[in-house]
Structure 1
């Protein structure tokens, strides 16, 4: 039995204690589970699946490719999980083994048991999950809020990080723009028509068509509709925290992102010592799906530029 076959058992349904993310009801969870399973079926073969315990709940992680040192570990965006990486996995696997972890507090094959109180807790569960997987050092790669999570790990729990790779990270280098606040508020309104949720996702994605025929859109829309977020509001890192980061960093900022001011985000990202920061014109916040081959090539070059530690 796979982890996503166990989804009905592992993902909480309301009512839950304060601070525990959960689905609004059994029907909402069933809709998400169907989208999740369909999305997983489109990914490259899962070579290993693990469910590991952390201080905040159980995390499901999937390995793509053979075991190796210093793999890439993926952190998904808000209301998303492993299936969102469908377009990226083939390219990334040309460079490294890839693990993907479904985040605690988000809809996915996770089971949150303890509330997250702030960035330190977020970094702790990531570090504990990496340790429980038996991974000595990893390249932590996150998109959107997953990028924020990667940076918080670099700030608070950097010991296992060989590098961090950020794809248009949210609430990290610039404040959230008003357009994104509209999307965020709209996504949590109960009873919102599905067509309107798709329109909000299209706005994030630079006007691209978004509907249930696109597996990632169906997955995220079902999470938006059926999952109750109960996490603290993400805090933007302070300047002194960014300047103290010693983990090698690649930050790709989407030039047409609505989540923040891209130019200001890129400028502030350059405060991280030695960070490789690029502003990609014309790309939206959905950059991972828009430019998977370009991202894979750039990530490969970045990894090749790092000091060798005998990676096999």
Structure 2
């Protein structure tokens, strides 16, 4: 797995495809770059080059002491694309990745052909803040795998639990055997706890799509809709599924994303 020195750390990344346009994908909390397995093939087939990477604190990327911020992780992403010589691209982040993408669009708009914020918010508010405080209390006692098993309950819809037992078991097994250290998890968790771009999103000038699972209960769909209202001329779209719509209904998610890309 290639790594590159960027912003003071070694970042693990994968760059695939020969397309003239590049799509950069930013992961959510505790997710490694392989979690884009349902999106990368569709983007490559559509003719794009695709960059995925492990955020600071997860996977094969360095895990320095935290806490981290969405701005710091956006700086990591900027340093990575600069080191790879990628000058203009489409950016998409999901969940925590969407928060990082917001900071990137605010700091480096000239880099972007478009930006997509998926299943995310401008600020956590009272509901999400309480949930994340519970995760922060639980992880040091019961470990990251236990917390992520709980996240599975929030990420998928009732229909997924009822009808797709084999896939559910695969996800639950992946969560159960996670190796992310507790300090690194808490450092990333701080990102979604402290993120707040509410008063700054009006400055975004890049073509923007805000995308959400219509049944998202982890980051409620209403919070994503509020985010869309804060970005000038942002497109708003929902797709089937909940917070894990990128995995539960990838065809629907990919179709919405590719439609936006083709128009920008």
Report TM bin, short chain: 0.7 to 0.9
Q: Do the aligned residues in 1 keep the contact of 2:228 with 2:236 (CA within 8 Å)? A: yes
1:161-310 to 2 correspondences below 5 Å: 161-169=112-120, 171-172=121-122, 175=125, 177-178=127-128, 180-181=131-132, 184-185=135-136, 188-191=139-142, 197-207=148-158, 208-209=160-161, 215-223=170-178, 226-228=181-183, 229=185, 230-231=187-188, 232-234=190-192, 235-280=194-239, 283-306=241-264
Q: CA deviation at 1:114?
A: 7.0
Instruction: Please list every run of 5 or more consecutive structure 2 residues that lacks an aligned counterpart in the other structure.
Output: none
Quickly say closer, same or farther: Cα 1:56–1:277, change in 2 above 3 A: farther
d(CA) in 2 for partners of 1:239 and 1:193?
Answer: 29
- 2:17 corresponds to which of 43, 47, 65: 65
Shift in Å, 1:193: 10
The answer on whether the counterparts of 1:69 and 1:135 sit within 8 Å (CA) in structure 2 is no
Change beyond 3 A, Cα 1:212–1:260: closer
The alpha-carbon distance between structure 1 residues 137 and 291, as it changes in their structure 2 partners (threshold 3 A), is same
User: Do the aligned partners of 1:58 and 1:112 also contact (CA within 8 Å) in 2?
Assistant: no
Instruction: Say whether the 8 Å CA contact 2:210–2:224 is kept in structure 1.
Output: no
Q: CA deviation at 1:211?
A: 8.6
Q: State the SS of the aligned residue for 1:188.
A: helix
Say how many residue pairs are matched: 254
Which of the pair has more CA radius of gyration?
1
Q: Which residue of 2 aligns with 1:52?
A: 4
Cα deviation for residue 248 of structure 1 reads 1.3
- Among residues 47, 55, 60, which one is paired with 1:103 in the alignment? 55
Q: Using structure 2 for the length normalisation, give the TM-score.
A: 0.82
Distance 1:55 1:193 in 2: 26
Change (3 A) 1:185 1:116: closer
Instruction: Give the match for residue 29 of structure 1.
Output: none
Long gaps (5+) in structure 1:
4-49, 307-312
Q: Call closer, same or farther: CA 1:154–1:292 in 2, change over 3 Å.
A: same
Higher helix share: 2
* Conserved? CA contact 1:173–1:266, under 8 Å: no
TM-score (normalizing by structure 1)? 0.70
